[in-house]
Structure 1
Amino acid sequence: MKRRDFLRATGGSGGAVAIGSGVAAGQEGTGTTTSTGGGGSGPTETVTVGPGGSLVFEPAELTIAVGTTVNFVWDSNMHNVVPQSQPEGANWEGEGEQGTTFDAGHEYSHTFETTGTYEYVCTPHESAGMTGTIEVVEELQSGGGERELHDIGAPIHPHWVGVGTILMMFVSLVFTFYILKYGESPNTGNTGGGE
């Protein structure tokens, strides 16, 4: 469906509401959002549950500051998020339990207020290694000074490809200018002496 058709079908600005709620025109919503532990104004991180049908959490290890909301988003079926250990005084209950799972489109959020290490699993796939860890710290360490390209999520090699492309374009323009301006000498066409 094209964007214009989608907006027409959902009544213009209502399309933004449909997109935000994860429900497109003509489709029923199957996911639910559960928010626990406050939240709203602090930073947010996302953990994808079963990305592309794989039996992992992505990222499997996450370090966040106190007050960060983690949004668990299901990308495949038959998964849950069950805490195995958490710091004393923490109240994280997770989403689901042994025998209770959720399908793609489901979302669950929790705001972490207690520092320490939280370990969790998907109970149906724990033996396959579907485990995760969230480390909650008072505040995240800032790198201080310059940040490397790979630290901000940009691989280095595409930048060098871009630099090389710009350099080759420049060299081509200079070479073309030189050939057009100073190309052949006026005597190049004369191959022999006059008769």
Structure 2
Amino acid sequence: MPDDHTFEPKTATIETGGTVTWTNESDVQHTVTAYEDEIPAEAVYFASGGFESERAARNRVTEGLIAPGENYEHTFDQPGTYGYCCIPHESSGMVGTVRVR
């Protein structure tokens, strides 16, 4: 049985200009929220809910929730490493990485 509090894969590697789609395959709501200090300086911030900063995403977490069966996608135009989490389940270790080549 899959763990409802993990990203699969935990680390994804894509090419510059590629899009990652996160699909919620669990029975609970999740977010995809970039850590501002773990993305390349020139990269566009990303978070489910369309927030422009990590603080906004954390302050308005319910607006960024992805319901079971729904998805969120982001296109990565800058190479580098991007760290992100699910805010409600961050303390359970629900974190991930996207590496863009």
Q: TM-score range by the shorter chain?
A: 0.7 to 0.9
Larger radius of gyration: 1
Report the CA distance between 1:108 and its aligned residue: 1.2
Residue 46 of structure 2 is aligned to residue 90 of structure 1: no
Report the CA distance between 1:52 and its aligned residue: 4.0
Q: Quick one: distance in 2 between partners of 1:53 and 1:78?
A: 13
1:55–1:125 CA contact under 8 A, matched in 2: yes
Report the CA distance between 1:92 and its aligned residue: 3.0
1:82–1:122 CA contact under 8 A, matched in 2: yes
Root-mean-square deviation (CA, aligned residues, Å) is 1.6
Q: Quick one: distance in 1 between partners of 2:85 and 2:73?
A: 16
Partner of 2:53: none
2:82–2:98 CA contact under 8 A, matched in 1: yes
Partner of 2:10: 60
SS of the residue corresponding to residue 40 of structure 2 reads coil
SS of the residue corresponding to residue 57 of structure 1 reads coil
Equivalent AA in structure 2 for residue 69 of structure 1: T
Q: Which has the higher helix share?
A: 1
Which of 80, 95, 104 is 2:68 aligned to?
A: 104
SS of the residue corresponding to residue 126 of structure 1 reads helix
User: What does 1:44-83 align with in structure 2 at a 5 Å threshold?
Assistant: 52=2, 54-76=4-26, 77-83=28-34
1:52–1:75 CA contact under 8 A, matched in 2: no
Deviation sequence 1:70-116 (CA, Å, 0-9, x none):
11111122210000121011113221433322211111111111011
Q: Quick one: distance in 2 between partners of 1:106 and 1:52?
A: 17
User: Larger relative CO (CA 8 A, sep 6+): 1 or 2?
Assistant: 2
Query: What is the TM-score of this pair, normalised by structure 2?
Result: 0.78
Unmatched segments (≥5 aa) in structure 2: 50-56
Partner of 2:54: none
Q: Quick one: distance in 1 between partners of 2:73 and 2:12?
A: 15
